[in-house]
Structure 1
Amino acid sequence: MIAKLQLIPGAISEILVSATETGMLTLADRYGLMAAILDESLDEEEQRAVNRIVRSVLRGRLRIQKA
């Protein structure tokens, strides 16, 4: 049985703001991003925000908090 992930409205912008302020992605942020990536109904702005976050991690601007 596969669990259905549901993205909370406004979650992507909250993750982006929080990550920008702290320079870090938390475990909760990562789960939110996973739900966002699996959600096929993201609008263009949300897709761009997810892409910005991923690029920031790849470039070393955001760190991933260890669990």
Structure 2
Amino acid sequence: MRSYHSKKPSLYTFENWTQAHDIYLIEHNHLELDVLAEHLPFGKDEIMARRKALGLVRRMRQLKKLNLYDE
């Protein structure tokens, strides 16, 4: 039987994130955090937390396993 881990609550509330911010992050997820922080009005930690919340970190890992995404 597989044991499931409970998710830790996020340290960030994403109330200030608009749909336009999410769309930009999804479309430009391949960019480095420094570049994203220049174009989005959020810090690196908050951008990384939002990436995790949107499932983009997991997606990058999956693509790396398939050798479709090089960092």
TM range (shorter): 0.3 to 0.5
Which protein shows a greater Rg?
2
What TM-score does the superposition give when structure 1 sets the normalisation length? Answer: 0.33
**Higher relative contact order (Cα pairs below 8 Å, separated by 6+ residues):** 1
What TM-score does the superposition give when structure 2 sets the normalisation length? Answer: 0.32
